[in-house]
Amino acid sequence: MADEFPAGSAWLVGAGPGDPDLLTRKAERLLRTASVVFYDALVGKGILELIPASVRKVPVGKRAGRHSKDQETINDLLVAAAMAGERVVRLKGGDPSIFGRSMEECSALLQAGVPVRICPGITAASAAAASAGVSLSLRGLARRVQFATAHKRGDAPLDLDWAALADPHCTTVFYMGRSAAAEIGRNLVASGLPGATPVMIACDISLASERMLHTRLDLLHVAVSAFSNDQPTLILVGEALAAGGSAPLADSCSASIGTVVPESTSPAPKPQAAFHPFASRAL
């Protein structure tokens, strides 16, 4: 282990979606070997409890609209700790290389002469699909998968290639999508994606508090109101979401959320395995 994690080096470690059982064995080993762990706000209590008491834990979390540390400060903290001879873990929710700004931190460390490596983690999109019993890719329905960040600065519009994102033969996953849900739905429909396209909204993925809601694209702006602004929310869009392999589970766990929704003029979706246009379930 000393060769893998010598003093004065750093690892960017993926904490996965939240369930400690979904942390990789390597990630857990690195957490136990570190002398200091700088962790994100989305890293849950269950993960942090795996870190030995002897390891210094430093919160550097960033949530929408509330940054405890800016990126440059985080970079400086990582470099200073490694230069002091510590074994540094930068612990990030999900996978460090998927909207985790991993290259900014790696570049800062490398420029300071600090050896740095990345330990991947299970990203939220994969965990959400597994919990829902669906596949992100499905022959005949989703020939590719694309990830997009819906994070934006203030009231600025999302600067995304909506034509590419509106591919009907693709599953598209929007990270940090809660506040931009109405804009996502409006732009995808305007770019040609049918309003009846299945959508799944998920938050607290893999945790006991996990919630999932199935709806359709033209109702996304209404459905998202069922989720708090403070909840990290993932929005998944695509026909494959209506063709899950665990329809009996979905049937037994689904329930109406009791919201009156507008009548849509979009054509009805093609018949698929059991799909609830506006149903919520908690696992």
Tokens of 198: 């299945």
The active-site residue, picked from 167, 176, 204, 218, is 176
Give exposure, 88-105, as e/b (b: 16+ Cβ within 10 Å). bbbbbbbbbbbbbebeeb
200 is catalytic: no
Label the pairing between strands 62-63 and 66-67. Answer: antiparallel
The active-site residue, picked from 26, 57, 62, 69, is 62
In angstroms, the first-to-last Cα distance of the chain is: 37
Tokens of 74: 């985080």
Tokens of 108: 């800062």
The active-site residue, picked from 40, 95, 167, 218, is 40
Label the pairing between strands 211-216 and 279-282. Answer: antiparallel
**127 vs 252: CA distance, rounded Å:** 20
Helical H runs in the chain? 25-33, 45-48, 71-83, 102-111, 124-132, 162-165, 181-190, 220-223, 247-253
The alpha carbon dihedral of 62, 135, 174, 258 has a sign of: negative
62 is catalytic: yes
57 is catalytic: no
Catalytic residue list: 40, 62, 176
